[in-house]
Every structure is written in C-alpha cells, then in structure tokens.
Amino acid sequence: MKADITARLEEIAGREFVVYDQGHIEDYLYDETERRLRPPACRDCVVVKPGKPEEISEILKLANSENITAVVRGGGTGLCGAAIPVRPSIIISMERFKKILEYDDKNFVITVEAGVTLREMNEFLQERNVLYFPCHPGGAEAQVGGLAMENAGDPRAVKHGVMRNHIKGLEVVTPTGALIRLGGKLRKNNAGYDLMQLMIGSEGTLGVVTKVMLRLYPKTKYSGVLLASFDTCGRAADAVTRTLKRGIVPLSIEYLNRSVALRTAEYVGERWPLEKGRSDLLFIAEEDSEEGLFDVQKAIEEICSEAGAVESLVPEAGRDQSVILTICDSAYGAFGEDLTDSMDIAVPPADIPRLISGLEQIAERYGAAIDTVGHMGDGNVHSNVYLAEKDIDDYYEDLKRELYALTVRIGGTITGEYGIGKIRRDSLPVQYDSTQLRLMRGIKELFDPNGILNPDTAIY
Ligand SMILES: Cc1cc2nc3c(=O)[nH]c(=O)nc-3n(C[C@H](O)[C@H](O)[C@H](O)COP(=O)(O)OP(=O)(O)OC[C@H]3O[C@@H](n4cnc5c(N)ncnc54)[C@H](O)[C@@H]3O)c2cc1C
C-alpha cells in the first residue's frame, strides 16, 4: 500500500487507528466462508478504524481521488466472502462504532452504532428485560451493520421475518462521502423511492452504514420444543402447511433428515431421541402463558399425527430440550470438514419436498451426496454437498449450475440467507435476466460512479 495513502489515513483517523503491518492485517482478510470456496484475499491492504461518520466520509473521498478500493469490515462472520478484499484495498473496520444510542420503549425501537454486535445488543436488552429483538440471524459477533447489509435471516423468519422487516432507519455514508439518513420511527412513509430498503442487503456496495434503528417487540415468556418424525419429507412438509393453515405460527420449524440428526447427535456426544421415521421436524413455539404454550404444542402434535407422523415427543423443559436444540444448532459443525459446499437455497415452503428429491437425483448422477437441514417453515434449506474427492473438482461447477437451475425452476432463489458476496456472483445470471442485472449495475454506478466500494461483490 502506498505510503502517502497510509499517511492520509493516519491524518484522518489518528495514528493508532491505522494498521499496516502484515501480521495484524491477516485478522481482517477473511470471513467465515468455507475455506474451499472463498476467494484468496489480496494482502496489499491497510486497515483503518474510523470513530466518526465524518472520518468515513474523508476515507471514501480519499479512495475516490486515489482510485483505490475500500471494503467495509463488520464482525467478519459472513458466509459468502463479501468482506474479503480481493484487490489492494483500504479495509474500513467498524469496530469503534460501539455505542447504543437510544432505547425508546414507547416507540419500540433501539438505535445503535453499526459496530455493536448482536451479542452486545441482546445483553443490553436482556438487562432491561421488557422488549427484545426476536431474531438471531447471524453469528453472535456479527455486527448490526453487517446484519443489515446482508439482510440476514434465521429460522425465526417463520414468525418474525428477516432483518429487512425489523430495520426502521439507517444512517449511511455514500461511496462519494455524503452522509444520508434513511427511514425513522414512522409507521407509515410513502415519500419517494425507498432507498433504505435498497440499502438493506446491498452487501457493503452502496454505502457504509454508521447507525441502525431496529424495531423491538414485547418479550414472550414461555417457549417450548416439539419433535415429530415422518416416513417421508413430503409428509413432514404437509404437516407444516397444515399447522400454518390452522393459524398456528411457531417461532421456527426446522427439518432434519435422520442421517443428519444422528450424525450431529454423535458429534455433540448426545443421543437423538426419535427412532421411527426418516424425516424429522423440530417446532419451537413461544407463547405468553404456560397454558397457551401447552395448547399450541398439543394442537401441533395432533396436526402432525393427522399428517402421518410416526412418532412425536415434547421433551421436558431444561436439559432434554437444550440437548435437542444443541444438536440442531450443531448440524453445520458436524459436517464442516467433509463438506464441499453448504448451499443456502430457498423455495416456496410447500415445494421443499420437490426440491430435496430433485437435488438428490442430480447429486446421484454426479456421484456426490447431499444432506439437507432446513428451515422448513420459511422454505430455506441448507443442502450440504459432499463430493467423492475432497478437492473441488471441475465438475462441481456443472453440478452447482444444475442444482441452482432446479431451484430457480421451482420459483426459488440461490441464496435465502447468506447472500451473494463474492462466491455466488457468477451464479446470479441463473436467477436474474439481463434486464435485471443491467438495472442493478446501473444502481451501483449511480451510488458509486468510480466503483471504489467493495466491487466484485453482490452483483454480476
Ligand atoms: C456461527 C454463525 C452463524 C450464522 N448464522 C446465520 C444465520 O442464521 N442467518 C444468516 O443470514 N447468516 C448467518 N451467519 C452469517 C453472518 O453472521 C451474517 O451474514 C452477518 O450478517 C454478517 O455480519 P458481519 O458483521 O459479520 O459482517 P461481515 O462478514 O464483516 O461483512 C458482511 C458484508 O457486509 C458489509 N458490511 C459489514 N458492516 C457494514 C457496514 N457497517 N456498512 C456497510 N457494509 C458493511 C461487508 O463489507 C460485507 O460485504 C452466521 C455466521 C456464523 C459464523
């Protein structure tokens, strides 16, 4: 990195907030994307840790005048390589944007600086114990700014939606250095194009978020777990449709095929409690009263039985429940080393059986294996692909193209949660036609005429 650029960054942010020795820069180069899939990071980078939006504005003006790339780094927990610098870059770390600015319990909103982590915000809300943020759409160290920029979502989307549904306002420094404020505490606002929604999910390509205002919700007091197993994925999906049609909206509805459940249980040193059937559903329900929770669990159990469940179980609160939740949360770790790709596709929820059987047929033709865990309630499945050989073979690209094409034919998307980033960019034309891709490129050019902010990301 040129010495005059690092010197300017020191003037803008202060000497102690600029990192250019290679040893320390290493910590800022990669996110949590699987090793085999992530692009190699460029090491010719400098890290700057601004403390104010005005400093970010100056940094971006410098990037424009020097025609050098800037990449924002949040918590570095992303799973699509979006935060990985692949060209010589100024890495803008948001780690000093740590303040919780306002907790407004009358309007049900919290305003935080973008570098506050999910864990920190939840601890703050936990201490007050009245309102809460109902989702956990990322790693605990993911920053609220990063969650907004990835429009992250988790299994609780069944009941509560994804980040997009909770964000009320953003403060953003545009790529050319202007500070803009989008949205606010309003319940209704129909003025002009909705730039805030455009910014959400833009993967750090349209601006640097400095503040986020999020919606909060009254805390529910009781939660419980129910497991049900079926002979086929189709029967499990039918149980999900019947439950939702009956007006019961659980917090989440997770699907595990039995081989995933058994392997993960072994990985965490526990026993999977179901024996009959091959396709398991985990319902998590949340209610305001103990009786309400009991009634909902009973109703779900009846619906599952009508749909052909061969076994069901309401584990005791406490250890039994937490074992099951631990197993479900660990499915990814259990397969980590053998995995080639953990796909993140989503289809209309009722079409999941069609998707899973189609994926399995395609994989079989390539001599690959696919295991699926998924958020059955919101149609998002993580299909773990294993190739015969451990390295990514040439044929993997063909296999992936076929899997994505099937997904799109069913009306789905190639990513429901983790985003396009740098690893799925080349697959975007499978989902969007040339007009849509051109409009996206046009939007990027309008915000970022010199293409300095996180190019090579999110759009094709
Ligand atoms: C254990 C674990 C569990 C996870 N669970 C989920 C899950 O349930 N659902 C899900 O969707 N994802 C999940 N993820 C992925 C990840 O946590 C999310 O994608 C999260 O949104 C990334 O936030 P981050 O702060 O780590 O962003 P980073 O990885 O640092 O960056 C992600 C992108 O956002 C940009 N960015 C970050 N901060 C800003 C900012 N302030 N302004 C502008 N751009 C910015 C970066 O440039 C980059 O393009 C998980 C990851 C892990 C490791």
| Closest to 375 in 3D by CA, of 418, 353, 346 | 346
Give residue 428's pLDDT.
96
What's the mean pLDDT in 33-44?
Answer: 92
State how far the alpha carbon of 187 is from the alpha carbons of 111, 166, 311, in Å: 16, 12, 44
State how far the alpha carbon of 5 is from the alpha carbons of 1, 178, 450, in Å: 7, 21, 18
Give residue 8's pLDDT.
98
Dist. CA 357 → ligand 1 center (Å): 30
The pLDDT > 90 percentage for the chain reads 82
Contact 185, 147 (CB under 8 A): no
Structural tokens at position 305: 């039985």
What's the mean pLDDT in 413-423?
Answer: 97
- Residue 206, exposed/middle/buried by CB under 10 A (0-12, 13-18, 19+)? buried
How far is the C-alpha of 55 from the C-alpha of 3, rounded, in Å? 19
Predicted TM-score (pTM) of this structure? 0.95
How far is the C-alpha of 199 from the C-alpha of 196, rounded, in Å? 5
Give residue 244's pLDDT.
94
Dist. CA 388 → ligand 1 center (Å): 31
Element (H, E) at 317: none
Give residue 389's pLDDT.
65
Atom from ligand 1 closest to the CA of residue 74: 30
| Closest to 382 in 3D by CA, of 397, 372, 368 | 372
Angle at 392 between CA 388 and CA 396, to 5 degrees: 80
Structural tokens at position 366: 């390539």
Atom from ligand 1 closest to the CA of residue 143: 25
Ligand 1 atom 50 nearest Cα: 138
Q: Which has more confidence, 227 or 34? A: 227
Q: pLDDT (tens digit, 9 = 90+) per residue, 76-112?
A: 999 999 999 999 999 999 999 999 999 999 999 999 9
Element (H, E) at 183: strand 179-183
- In the numeric block, the tokens 């189609």 are attached to 358
Contact 440, 429 (CB under 8 A): no
Ligand 1 atom 14 nearest Cα: 138
Question: Phi-psi region for residue 458, left (φ > 0), alpha (ψ -120 to 50) or beta?
Answer: left
Ligand 1 atom 22 nearest Cα: 78
Cβ < 6 Å from ligand 1: which residues?
31-32, 71-79, 82-83, 94, 114, 137-139, 142-143, 145-147, 149-150, 152-154, 203-204, 208-209, 417-418, 454, 457
Q: pLDDT (tens digit, 9 = 90+) per residue, 48-58?
A: 999 999 999 99
Contacts of 458 (CB under 8 A, 6+ apart): 82, 202, 203, 205, 419, 420, 421, 425
Q: Which has more confidence, 121 or 317? A: 121
Give residue 90's pLDDT.
98
Question: Taking all residues of the chain, what is their mean pLDDT, rounded to a whole number?
Answer: 94
Q: Torsions phi, psi of 272, nearest 5?
A: -75, 125
Dist. CA 330 → ligand 1 center (Å): 19
Atom from ligand 1 closest to the CA of residue 82: 49
Pocket test for ligand 1, best of 33, 55, 77 (most atoms within 8 A of CB): 77
Ligand 1 atom 13 nearest Cα: 138
What's the mean pLDDT in 31-41?
Answer: 91
Residue 392 has pLDDT above 80, yes or no: no
Q: pLDDT (tens digit, 9 = 90+) per residue, 161-189?
A: 999 999 999 999 999 999 999 999 999 99
The pLDDT > 70 percentage for the chain reads 98
Dist. CA 329 → ligand 1 center (Å): 18
Runs of H (alpha helix) within 352-448: 352-365, 395-409, 428-431, 434-447
- What length does the chain have? 460
Dist. CA 123 → ligand 1 center (Å): 19
Dist. CA 184 → ligand 1 center (Å): 23
Dist. CA 292 → ligand 1 center (Å): 35
- In the numeric block, the tokens 């759009």 are attached to 459
Ligand 1 atom 51 nearest Cα: 139
DSSP 200: T
Can you state the angle between helices 233-245 and 290-306, rounded to 10 degrees? 130
Runs of H (alpha helix) within 315-391: 319-329, 331-335, 352-365
Ligand 1 atom 44 nearest Cα: 204
Give the pairing of strands 217-218 and 252-257.
Answer: unpaired
Amino acid present at 270: E
> For residue 393, what pLDDT band results from cuts at 50, 70 and 90?
low
Residue 149 has pLDDT above 80, yes or no: yes
Residue 447 has pLDDT above 60, yes or no: yes
Residue 341 has pLDDT above 90, yes or no: no
Give residue 22's pLDDT.
86
How far is the C-alpha of 406 from the C-alpha of 345, rounded, in Å? 10
Dist. CA 428 → ligand 1 center (Å): 20
Contacts of 192 (CB under 8 A, 6+ apart): none
Dist. CA 145 → ligand 1 center (Å): 8
Ligand 1 atom 11 nearest Cα: 152
Dist. CA 351 → ligand 1 center (Å): 28
Amino acid present at 338: D
- Residue 273, exposed/middle/buried by CB under 10 A (0-12, 13-18, 19+)? middle
How far is the C-alpha of 22 from the C-alpha of 401, rounded, in Å? 37
Other CB atoms closer than 10 Å to residue 314's CB: what's the count?
18
How far is the C-alpha of 93 from the C-alpha of 106, rounded, in Å? 33
Q: pLDDT (tens digit, 9 = 90+) per residue, 258-311?
A: 989 999 999 999 999 999 999 999 999 999 999 999 999 999 999 999 999 999
> For residue 417, what pLDDT band results from cuts at 50, 70 and 90?
very high
Ligand 1 atom 2 nearest Cα: 139
Ligand 1 atom 45 nearest Cα: 204
> For residue 390, what pLDDT band results from cuts at 50, 70 and 90?
low
Other CB atoms closer than 10 Å to residue 301's CB: what's the count?
18
